[in-house]
Amino acid sequence: MAGQKPKNPEVHATYLPKDKKSTKPFHDTPMLDQLVDGPWPSFVTGLKRLAHDNNMSVDLLGQLEHSYKTRIGYWKGGTVSVFGYGGGIIPRFTELMGDDGKPMFPESKEFHTLRVQPPAGNHYSTKMLRKLSDSWNKYGSGLIAFHGQTGNIMFIGTTTEKTQHFFDEINEYGWDLGGAGPCVRTGMSCVGAARCEQSCTNEMKVHRSLVNNFLDDMHRPALPYKFKFKVSGCPNDCMNSIQRSDFAVIGTWRDDMQVDQEEVKKIVAEKGRKNIIDNVVSRCPTNALSLNDDNTLDVDNRNCVRCMHCINVMTKALSPGKDKGVTVLLGGKRTLKIGDTMGTVIVPFMKLETDEDYEKLTGLAEETIDFWAENALEHERVGETIDRIGLVNFLEGVGIDPDPHMINHPRTSNYVRLDDWDAEAEKWKNRKAAN
Amino acid sequence: MAEAKAAPKYPTESGCPDGMQYLHPTLLKNFGNWKYHDRPRPGVLHHVAHSGDEVWTVRVGTQRQLGPYEINLLCDIIDKYADGFVRFSIRSNLEITVDKEEKVAPLIQAFEDAGYPVGGTGNSVTMISHTQGWLHCDIPGTDASGVVKALMDELHKEFIAEEMPNRVHITTSCCQINCGGQGDIAINIQHTKPPKINHDLVANVCERPSVVARCPVAAIRPAIVNGKPSLEVDEKKCICCGACFPPCPPMQINDPDHSKLAVWVGGKHSNARSKPMFHKLVAAGIANNPPRWPEATKVVLNILSTYKKDAKDWERVGDWIERIGWPRFFELTELPFTKYHIDNWHGARNSLNASTHIRF
C-alpha cells in the first residue's frame, strides 16, 4: 500500500539492490523517478533493478528519460533475423545521437525484441518461467513483457548477435518465434476448457491446429499484411477476437441452454424477483426469458442469440447447451486503413469434434489466406479486401454459400443487377433440400 | 588459423507450445468438465467441476514488464503458497490456481506483502491493456507503461474492489493505430498537425509508391523538393493520422506539443447483452504530459465516477450510454460536445439520429 513500509523490503516490488554490478554510472532520471512511488508495482523500479545488473538497462533508462523530457521516441526499425527465419524479431536501433554523431546511450544502441509464442491459453509452470527468465538474463536485458497485444511473450532488449544465441537456447527447449511483419501472427486463446464452465470448444486445440498449420507463413513473411487467429471459448469473447483478429473462432452451442430450475429458484429466493427480472430477464437482448410465477425460468431457445448475459449472472443455474461447436468470423481489425472493422460471420456454426472437423476448419483458413494473398492489395487486411470487393465475391472466391446469419439485414439499396435471381433461388432450395 | 565457424543451426519449427503440459493437475483432470464458478471475494475466482473438485484462482496485477527479480519473487510466492502453476490473463494479470481453499488467504497475503495487488475480477477496473510506447516502439507519440502506472496508481482502489456497475476495461495506445485496442475507456494519441517531412531522406529511406498508397485520404503525392525526389502532403486534406510515418520515418508525425491525447468510451468486445461495440470519441486536445499525465487521468476519473454513479448493474460503459443517450453523457460528465464528435468517415450517416427519439 502506498506510504506503508513493506514488511520485508528484500522481497518487495519496491526493492532495490545494494550492490551495483553494472559498471556504468546511473543517469539522472528525475521524471521517471516520479513513477517509482504509488500503490501499483512500478516498471521504473523494475528497470532500476535491471540497471543495477547490466549497463544496457542503465542506458535504456537514460534514453527513456530523454523521451520523457522531449516527448519524442528514439527507436528505429531495421532488419534482424535468426538463421532460417525472416520474421519474429522487432529490431530496434537508437536514433538518439550526440553532437559527435555517436549514440548518446551506446549500451542500448541495439535493443531488439524477440516475439516468442506463448503456450496456448498462456499457461506456465513457475519452473518454466524461471528457465525462460534465466536464458534471457544471459543474453538480453532481462526484461520480459507478458504479453504483447498480439499475444507474444516479448523478450525486450538484446543485440543483433545475441538474438541468435538466445533463440537457439530457448528453441532447444521447446519455444518458437512468433510473427512480425506481413505474415500469420501469433495466435491467442482463452483459459477455456481448462478452467471455465462456459467453454464450448477445446480452445487450445483450435489455436494450435490453426497457427501451427501456418508456421511457414509465420516465419517467412510473404503475405499482403498481417493475419491473426484468435480463439474464444464462448461469446463473451475474452480474446477480443471479433475486433482484434482476422480469423475469429468462438465457441457456441445450437441446442437448448441447460437450466437447473432448483438453482434458479434458489437465486430468486436469495436476490428477489425484482433483482432477477431487472438484471437477467429484461437484459436479454431478444426477450427470450420469462420468470414464471413459481420462480422457475422459461427460455425461448429458438430466439436466444447466445449472448451469454444470463449465464454470466446465474452461473450455477444456467449453462451453455450440450451440442457445442464454433462460429467463425472473418475480418476484424483496427483503424488502418479504411477504419475499424469487426469480423463478419462466415460460418454460423460448425462442430469441432473429429479430426475431419478440425481439418475442415484449417481448410477454411487455408482457402481464406490463399484467396486473400492472391487478391489483396499490399498492406490490406482480409477485412479490407472483403470491404473492397464485397462479401459475395469473397464467398465465391473461397467457395462458401451465402447464409442469412452473415447479415444484420438484407440490402436496402436497389442499385444491383439480379440477372441470375432464379438460379440463385434454386440453389438455396437445393441446399435446403439437401440438409 | 581461424576456426571453422560452427554450421548455423536450423530452427525447430515447433510453433505454439501445448498449454496442457503447464496445467495445474486439478485443471488437467477436470478439463472441459467444469460446472460453475463464483467469486468469494474480489480477486478470487472459485470454480467447481462436475467431479466435485474445486479450485480457487487468485488474480494479481503486475507491471507487465517483468525482470528476473520480479519473476523469481512472484514464482517464489507461487511455489511456496500455491502449487507452482500460473497463467496470464489477456490484460497481463497473473492467475494462480490452487486446489484448497485454505491456501487462498496466505497466498493473497504474500502477494500483498510483496507489493502486488490482488483484484481485477468481476465488476472491478482491471489492468489497463497497453502497448510499448517510448520504451520500445518505433512510432510512439507517448509512453505506455508510464501512462498505465500513473493511471493504475489512481485506480488501484477500484482494482482491488468490485464496486463498478460492470467490468471496466481501459486501454491506452501511443499512436492512432491503437494497438491497445477497444476499451470501455481508451486513452489514445491523436495527432493534430500534418507530418514534418525531412526531404533529404525520403528518397533513400521510403518506398514512395507504398507511402502514397498508405494514406487513407489520398493526401500524399510524389514531388521533387529542393531538386530531390520526395513526397508532399496536401495539408488541407491531411487528417494527421500518422499512417505514412511507419513506412516513411522521415515523415515525422509525432510532435511534443501537437500530439495530444484523446479519450474514447463505450468499446466492448463481449457479445453479452448488446453486440460488440467500438469506442467513440468523447474528449480530445488533452496534454501529453509525462511523467504522470494528470490531465488525462482527470478526464478518465471523471468518466469513471459518473459511470459508477449513474449506470445500472451489469451495464458496461457502452450499454449505459446507449440507455441514457449521448446528450445526457455529455451533460453528466460536463465534457464539451463539439463538431468534431460528429463523424464524417465512411458510413458516418449510420451514426446520425434519424428519428424523433430525443430525451429531454
Task: Look at residue B6 and tell me if it is in a domain.
Answer: no
Residues B60 and B156 in one domain: no
CB-closest option in A82, A149, A241 to B11: A82
Tell which of B16, B69, B149, B154 to mutate to test the A interface (max A CBs under 10 Å): B16
CB-closest option in A40, A47, A283 to B117: A40
Instruction: Find the radius of gyration of the CA atoms of chain B.
Output: 24
Question: pLDDT-based confidence at B16, cuts 50/70/90?
Answer: very high
- To the nearest whole angstrom, how far is the Cα of A423 from the nearest Cα of chain B? 32
Interchain proximity B17–A39, CB inside 8 Å: no
Element (H, E) at A250: strand A247-253
Q: What is the mean pLDDT of residues A219-248?
A: 97
Q: What is the mean pLDDT of residues B183-187?
A: 97
The domain boundary, picked from B181, B209, B239, lies at B239
Query: Which stretches of chain B are assigned E, i.e. beta strand?
Result: 34-41, 44-49, 54-60, 65-66, 85-88, 94-98, 170-173, 185-191, 196-197, 220-225, 228-233, 251-252, 259-265, 280-286
Task: Look at residue B47 and tell me if it is in a domain.
Answer: yes
- CA–CA separation, A276 and A278 (whole Å): 6
- CA–CA separation, A154 and A157 (whole Å): 9
Q: Which residues in chain B touch residue A195, judged by CB atoms under 8 angstroms apart?
A: 27, 34, 47, 55, 57, 97
pLDDT exceeds cutoff 90 at A435: no
Name the residue with cell 513457475.
A126
Q: Which residues in chain B touch residue A253, judged by CB atoms under 8 angstroms apart?
A: none
Q: Which residues in chain B touch residue A279, judged by CB atoms under 8 angstroms apart?
A: 313-314
- Interface residue A9 vs chain B (CB under 8 A): no
pLDDT exceeds cutoff 50 at B30: yes
Question: pLDDT-based confidence at B4, cuts 50/70/90?
Answer: low
Going by their DSSP bridges, the two strands B185-191 and B170-173 should be labelled as: parallel
Output the CA torsion B19→B24→B29→B33 (10° steps): -80
Residues near A80 by beta carbon (within 8 Å), at least 6 away in sequence: A89, A91, A112, A160, A163
Residues B312 and B181 in one domain: yes
- Interface residue A58 vs chain B (CB under 8 A): no
Residues B217 and B270 in one domain: no
Tell which of B44, B46, B108, B135 to mutate to test the A interface (max A CBs under 10 Å): B135
Question: B67 in the Ramachandran plot: left (φ > 0), alpha (ψ -120 to 50) or beta?
Answer: beta
Give the count of domains, chain B: 3
Q: Which residues in chain B touch residue A245, judged by CB atoms under 8 angstroms apart?
A: none
**What is the SS3 assignment for A283?**
helix
Residues B326 and B179 in one domain: yes
Q: Which residues in chain A touch residue B57, judged by CB atoms under 8 angstroms apart?
A: 195
Residues B262 and B302 in one domain: yes
Interchain proximity B14–A188, CB inside 8 Å: no
pLDDT digits (tens, 9 = 90+) for B132-177: 999 999 999 999 999 999 999 999 999 999 999 999 999 999 999 9
Residue B160 has a pLDDT of 98
Residues B159 and B271 in one domain: yes
Q: What is the mean pLDDT of residues A227-247?
A: 98
Task: Look at residue B125 and tell me if it is in a domain.
Answer: no
| Shortest CA distance from A88: residue in chain B | B15
Q: Which residues in chain B touch residue A127, judged by CB atoms under 8 angstroms apart?
A: 84
Predicted structure pTM score: 0.97
pLDDT digits (tens, 9 = 90+) for A336-389: 888 899 999 999 999 999 999 999 999 999 999 999 999 999 999 999 999 999
Q: What is the mean pLDDT of residues B310-323?
A: 98
pLDDT exceeds cutoff 80 at A3: no
Q: Which residues in chain A touch residue B68, judged by CB atoms under 8 angstroms apart?
A: 53, 133-134, 136-137, 142
Interchain proximity B22–A278, CB inside 8 Å: no
Residues B221 and B279 in one domain: no
Task: Look at residue B5 and tell me if it is in a domain.
Answer: no
The pLDDT > 70 percentage for chain A reads 99
Question: Cell numbers at residue B40, please?
Answer: 468469494
The sign of the torsion formed by the CA atoms of A309, A315, A319, A320 equals: positive
| Shortest CA distance from B122: residue in chain A | A312
Residue A2 has a pLDDT of 47
Task: Look at residue B359 and tell me if it is in a domain.
Answer: no
Tell which of A56, A70, A71 to mutate to test the B interface (max B CBs under 10 Å): A71
Residues B102 and B180 in one domain: no
Residues B233 and B92 in one domain: no
Interchain proximity A40–B17, CB inside 8 Å: no
- Interface residue A233 vs chain B (CB under 8 A): no
Name the residue with cell 497497453.
B130
Q: What is the mean pLDDT of residues B67-94?
A: 98
Count of CB pairs separated by less than 8 Å, A with B: 379
Alpha helices in A259-412 (DSSP H): 261-271, 273-279, 309-313, 355-375, 382-389, 391-398
- To the nearest whole angstrom, how far is the Cα of B226 from the nearest Cα of chain A? 25
Domains of chain A (ranges; CATH) run 9-70 (no CATH), 80-172 (3.30.70.2500), 188-252+325-409 (3.30.413.10), 258-319 (3.30.70.20)
The sign of the torsion formed by the CA atoms of B144, B150, B156, B158 equals: negative
pLDDT digits (tens, 9 = 90+) for A97-153: 999 999 999 999 999 999 999 999 999 999 999 999 999 999 999 999 999 999 999
pLDDT digits (tens, 9 = 90+) for B265-280: 999 999 999 999 999 9
CB-closest option in A145, A342, A379 to B64: A145
Task: Look at residue B59 and tell me if it is in a domain.
Answer: yes
Residues B204 and B67 in one domain: no
Residues B182 and B303 in one domain: yes
Task: Identify any residues that bridge with B268 across adjacent strands, giving them in sequence order.
Answer: B277
The per-residue pLDDT of chain A, averaged, comes to 96
- To the nearest whole angstrom, how far is the Cα of A426 from the nearest Cα of chain B? 33
DSSP string, B168-208: B-EEEESSTT-TT---SEEEEEEE-SPPEE-TTTHHHH--H
pLDDT exceeds cutoff 70 at B1: no
Residue A113 has a pLDDT of 97
Q: What is the mean pLDDT of residues A54-68?
A: 98
Residues near A421 by beta carbon (within 8 Å), at least 6 away in sequence: none
Instruction: Specify the higher pLDDT residue, A338 or B197.
Output: B197
Residue A336 has a pLDDT of 86
Ranking A63-72, A190-199, A330-339, B304-313 by mean pLDDT, the lowest is A330-339
Question: pLDDT-based confidence at B3, cuts 50/70/90?
Answer: low
DSSP string, A112-172: EEEEEPPPGGGEEEHHHHHHHHHHHHHHS-SEEEE--TTS-EEEEEE-HHHHHHHHHHHHH
Q: Which residues in chain A touch residue B67, judged by CB atoms under 8 angstroms apart?
A: 46-47, 49-50, 133, 142-144
Q: Which residues in chain B touch residue A378, judged by CB atoms under 8 angstroms apart?
A: 210, 213
The domain boundary, picked from B62, B78, B113, lies at B113
Residue B26 has a pLDDT of 98
Residue B6 has a pLDDT of 67
Q: What is the mean pLDDT of residues B238-251?
A: 96
Domain containing residue B235: CATH number: 3.30.70.20
Q: Which residues in chain A touch residue B149, judged by CB atoms under 8 angstroms apart?
A: 35, 38, 40, 42-44
* Best CA proximity match to A254, nearest among A326, A196, A307: A326
pLDDT exceeds cutoff 50 at A1: no
| Shortest CA distance from A212: residue in chain B | B15
pLDDT digits (tens, 9 = 90+) for A146-165: 999 999 999 999 999 999 99
pLDDT exceeds cutoff 70 at B37: yes
Q: What is the mean pLDDT of residues B228-248?
A: 96
Task: Look at residue B296 and tell me if it is in a domain.
Answer: yes
- Interface residue A86 vs chain B (CB under 8 A): no
Domain containing residue B77: CATH number: 3.30.70.3340
Q: Provide the 8-state DSSP code for B12.
A: -
Question: Cell numbers at residue B150, please?
Answer: 500513473
Domain containing residue B268: CATH number: 3.30.413.10
Interchain proximity A146–B178, CB inside 8 Å: no
- Interface residue A6 vs chain B (CB under 8 A): yes
Interchain proximity A146–B27, CB inside 8 Å: no
CB-closest option in A123, A144, A309 to B87: A123
Residues B104 and B166 in one domain: no
The per-residue pLDDT of chain B, averaged, comes to 96
CB-closest option in A188, A211, A316 to B15: A211
Range of the domain at B28: 19-113
Q: Are A115 and A82 in contact (CB under 8 A)?
A: no
- To the nearest whole angstrom, how far is the Cα of B156 from the nearest Cα of chain A? 7
Residue A335 has a pLDDT of 86
Task: Look at residue B12 and tell me if it is in a domain.
Answer: no
